[in-house]
Amino acid sequence: MANKYNYKPRPGAMTVPGLSHIKIFDAAQAVREYIKSLTGRDLVKNHLPILFDHLSTDKNLPIYYSVVDDNKLPSNVEAITNGNSIKIKQSVWDAVENSSHPYHRRYRFTLCHEIGHAILHSEVDHGFARMSEPTAPFESSEWQADTFSGYLLVSLEDVKYSNFCSLSLSNICNISKPAASKIIKNYRNSIMR
Protein backbone atom coordinates (compact mmCIF):
# COMPACT_ATOMS: atom_id res chain seq x y z
CA MET A 1 0.00 0.00 0.00
CA ALA A 2 1.52 3.31 -1.02
CA ASN A 3 1.24 6.20 1.39
CA LYS A 4 3.11 9.35 2.27
CA TYR A 5 5.39 7.41 4.66
CA ASN A 6 6.21 4.73 2.07
CA TYR A 7 5.45 2.29 4.88
CA LYS A 8 4.43 -1.32 4.34
CA PRO A 9 3.11 -2.81 7.58
CA ARG A 10 4.30 -6.15 8.84
CA PRO A 11 1.68 -8.92 8.70
CA GLY A 12 -0.41 -8.92 11.87
CA ALA A 13 0.26 -5.28 12.66
CA MET A 14 -2.68 -3.39 14.06
CA THR A 15 -3.40 0.30 13.80
CA VAL A 16 -3.02 1.78 17.27
CA PRO A 17 -2.81 5.36 18.54
CA GLY A 18 0.46 6.81 17.25
CA LEU A 19 3.46 7.02 19.56
CA SER A 20 6.72 8.84 18.97
CA HIS A 21 10.19 7.44 19.64
CA ILE A 22 10.41 9.71 22.68
CA LYS A 23 7.18 8.38 24.23
CA ILE A 24 8.23 4.78 23.60
CA PHE A 25 11.75 5.47 24.93
CA ASP A 26 10.27 7.04 28.07
CA ALA A 27 7.99 4.03 28.63
CA ALA A 28 10.84 1.54 28.18
CA GLN A 29 13.20 3.47 30.45
CA ALA A 30 10.49 3.79 33.11
CA VAL A 31 10.08 0.00 33.13
CA ARG A 32 13.84 -0.51 33.27
CA GLU A 33 14.27 1.96 36.15
CA TYR A 34 11.24 0.63 38.02
CA ILE A 35 12.57 -2.93 37.94
CA LYS A 36 16.03 -1.71 38.94
CA SER A 37 14.53 0.16 41.91
CA LEU A 38 12.79 -3.03 43.09
CA THR A 39 15.65 -5.45 42.61
CA GLY A 40 18.76 -3.29 42.81
CA ARG A 41 20.06 -4.72 39.53
CA ASP A 42 19.55 -4.50 35.79
CA LEU A 43 17.57 -7.65 35.06
CA VAL A 44 17.04 -6.70 31.42
CA LYS A 45 20.67 -7.24 30.45
CA ASN A 46 21.19 -10.82 31.56
CA HIS A 47 18.27 -12.08 33.62
CA LEU A 48 15.07 -11.95 31.54
CA PRO A 49 13.49 -15.01 33.21
CA ILE A 50 13.94 -13.33 36.62
CA LEU A 51 12.54 -10.10 35.15
CA PHE A 52 9.43 -11.98 34.02
CA ASP A 53 9.05 -13.50 37.50
CA HIS A 54 9.19 -10.02 39.06
CA LEU A 55 6.70 -8.56 36.60
CA SER A 56 4.23 -11.39 37.16
CA THR A 57 4.12 -10.74 40.90
CA ASP A 58 4.25 -6.95 40.84
CA LYS A 59 1.09 -5.09 41.84
CA ASN A 60 2.03 -1.83 40.06
CA LEU A 61 3.17 -3.31 36.76
CA PRO A 62 1.55 -6.75 36.49
CA ILE A 63 2.53 -8.62 33.36
CA TYR A 64 1.66 -12.28 33.56
CA TYR A 65 3.32 -14.97 31.52
CA SER A 66 3.05 -18.66 30.89
CA VAL A 67 5.42 -20.98 29.09
CA VAL A 68 3.46 -23.36 26.86
CA ASP A 69 4.25 -26.39 24.73
CA ASP A 70 5.36 -25.28 21.28
CA ASN A 71 2.32 -26.93 19.67
CA LYS A 72 -0.03 -24.67 21.67
CA LEU A 73 0.90 -21.66 19.50
CA PRO A 74 1.01 -21.42 15.70
CA SER A 75 4.30 -22.50 14.14
CA ASN A 76 5.11 -18.94 13.00
CA VAL A 77 4.48 -17.44 16.46
CA GLU A 78 7.17 -17.42 19.16
CA ALA A 79 5.10 -15.67 21.82
CA ILE A 80 1.80 -13.83 21.93
CA THR A 81 0.37 -11.11 24.15
CA ASN A 82 -3.24 -10.55 25.06
CA GLY A 83 -3.74 -7.57 27.36
CA ASN A 84 -1.13 -7.98 30.07
CA SER A 85 -0.70 -11.73 29.63
CA ILE A 86 2.07 -13.27 27.52
CA LYS A 87 2.22 -16.88 26.28
CA ILE A 88 5.74 -18.01 25.39
CA LYS A 89 6.73 -21.16 23.53
CA GLN A 90 8.82 -23.55 25.61
CA SER A 91 11.57 -23.59 22.94
CA VAL A 92 11.79 -19.78 23.07
CA TRP A 93 11.98 -19.76 26.87
CA ASP A 94 14.66 -22.48 26.80
CA ALA A 95 16.73 -20.44 24.32
CA VAL A 96 16.49 -17.31 26.48
CA GLU A 97 17.70 -19.29 29.50
CA ASN A 98 20.64 -20.74 27.52
CA SER A 99 23.11 -18.05 26.43
CA SER A 100 24.86 -20.46 24.05
CA HIS A 101 21.64 -21.19 22.11
CA PRO A 102 21.88 -19.87 18.53
CA TYR A 103 18.62 -17.89 18.91
CA HIS A 104 19.31 -16.62 22.43
CA ARG A 105 19.83 -12.99 21.41
CA ARG A 106 16.92 -12.93 18.96
CA TYR A 107 14.47 -14.40 21.47
CA ARG A 108 15.56 -11.90 24.12
CA PHE A 109 14.39 -9.22 21.69
CA THR A 110 11.16 -11.18 21.11
CA LEU A 111 10.32 -11.36 24.82
CA CYS A 112 10.99 -7.64 25.33
CA HIS A 113 8.84 -6.99 22.23
CA GLU A 114 5.99 -8.84 23.99
CA ILE A 115 6.53 -6.77 27.15
CA GLY A 116 6.17 -3.76 24.84
CA HIS A 117 2.78 -5.00 23.68
CA ALA A 118 1.69 -5.55 27.30
CA ILE A 119 2.81 -2.05 28.34
CA LEU A 120 1.79 -0.07 25.25
CA HIS A 121 -1.25 -1.97 23.98
CA SER A 122 -2.96 -3.62 26.95
CA GLU A 123 -5.87 -1.17 26.67
CA VAL A 124 -6.23 -1.39 22.87
CA ASP A 125 -9.46 -2.85 21.56
CA HIS A 126 -7.89 -5.52 19.37
CA GLY A 127 -11.11 -6.20 17.48
CA PHE A 128 -11.35 -2.57 16.36
CA ALA A 129 -7.61 -2.11 15.84
CA ARG A 130 -7.34 -4.98 13.33
CA MET A 131 -9.95 -3.37 11.05
CA SER A 132 -7.39 -1.19 9.27
CA GLU A 133 -3.75 -1.51 8.27
CA PRO A 134 -1.40 1.07 9.73
CA THR A 135 -0.25 3.60 7.16
CA ALA A 136 2.55 5.09 9.25
CA PRO A 137 5.11 3.23 11.35
CA PHE A 138 4.27 5.15 14.52
CA GLU A 139 0.67 3.81 14.25
CA SER A 140 1.76 0.17 13.92
CA SER A 141 1.51 -2.07 16.98
CA GLU A 142 4.46 -4.13 15.70
CA TRP A 143 6.70 -1.12 15.04
CA GLN A 144 5.90 0.26 18.50
CA ALA A 145 6.65 -3.07 20.22
CA ASP A 146 9.92 -3.49 18.27
CA THR A 147 10.96 0.03 19.16
CA PHE A 148 10.06 -0.52 22.82
CA SER A 149 12.08 -3.75 22.87
CA GLY A 150 15.17 -1.97 21.58
CA TYR A 151 14.90 0.83 24.10
CA LEU A 152 14.27 -1.64 26.95
CA LEU A 153 17.24 -3.82 26.04
CA VAL A 154 19.66 -0.96 25.34
CA SER A 155 20.17 2.22 27.34
CA LEU A 156 21.60 5.44 25.96
CA GLU A 157 24.68 4.81 28.11
CA ASP A 158 25.14 1.42 26.41
CA VAL A 159 25.03 3.04 22.97
CA LYS A 160 27.60 5.66 23.99
CA TYR A 161 29.82 3.05 25.67
CA SER A 162 29.77 0.97 22.46
CA ASN A 163 30.99 4.03 20.57
CA PHE A 164 28.02 3.53 18.20
CA CYS A 165 29.50 0.23 16.98
CA SER A 166 26.82 -2.40 16.34
CA LEU A 167 29.14 -5.35 16.99
CA SER A 168 30.25 -3.88 20.30
CA LEU A 169 26.68 -3.01 21.29
CA SER A 170 25.43 -6.49 20.39
CA ASN A 171 28.01 -7.98 22.76
CA ILE A 172 27.43 -5.47 25.56
CA CYS A 173 23.65 -5.93 25.53
CA ASN A 174 23.42 -9.54 24.41
CA ILE A 175 21.37 -8.74 21.29
CA SER A 176 21.78 -9.55 17.60
CA LYS A 177 23.98 -7.34 15.42
CA PRO A 178 21.06 -6.35 13.13
CA ALA A 179 19.02 -5.31 16.18
CA ALA A 180 22.01 -3.35 17.50
CA SER A 181 22.35 -1.50 14.17
CA LYS A 182 18.66 -0.56 14.17
CA ILE A 183 18.77 0.54 17.83
CA ILE A 184 21.84 2.74 17.21
CA LYS A 185 20.02 4.33 14.27
CA ASN A 186 16.94 4.96 16.44
CA TYR A 187 19.01 6.60 19.18
CA ARG A 188 20.92 8.75 16.68
CA ASN A 189 17.86 9.87 14.73
CA SER A 190 15.30 10.24 17.50
CA ILE A 191 16.67 10.35 21.03
CA MET A 192 20.02 12.16 20.71
CA ARG A 193 18.78 15.08 18.63
Rg (CA), the chain: 16
Going by C-alpha positions, the residue among 153, 65, 63 that lies closest to residue 107 is 153
| pTM (2 d.p.) | 0.90
What single-letter DSSP state applies at residue 189? I
pLDDT tens digit string along 118-135?
Answer: 999 887 755 444 546 666
Query: What span, in angstroms and rounded, lies between the C-alpha atoms of 12 and 41?
Result: 35
Which residues, other chains included, contact 102 with Cβ-Cβ below 8 Å and sequence gap of 6+?
A: 95
The one-letter amino acid code at 154 reads V
Q: Which residues pair with 64 in a beta bridge?
A: 85
Q: Is 125 helix (H, G, I), strand (E, B) or coil?
A: coil
- pLDDT for 8 beyond 70: no
Determine contact, residues 65/88, Cβ cutoff 8 Å: yes
In the chain, what are the domain boundaries? 21-191
Residue 5 has pLDDT above 60, yes or no: no
User: Residues 6 or more apart from 16 whose CB is under 8 A from it?
Assistant: 120, 121, 124, 129, 134, 139, 140, 141, 144
Are 62 and 42 within 8 A, CB to CB? no
The H-assigned helical ranges of the chain are 21-39, 43-46, 48-57, 90-97, 104-120, 126-129, 141-153, 156-161, 166-173, 177-186
- Model confidence pLDDT, tens digit, residues 17-65: 899 999 999 999 999 898 888 888 888 877 889 889 988 888 888 899 9
Would you tell me the crossing angle of helices 21-39 and 141-153 to the nearest 10 degrees? 40
Neighbouring-strand partners of residue 182: none
Q: What are the tens digits of pLDDT across the range 136-180?
A: 788 888 899 999 999 999 999 999 999 999 999 999 999 999 999
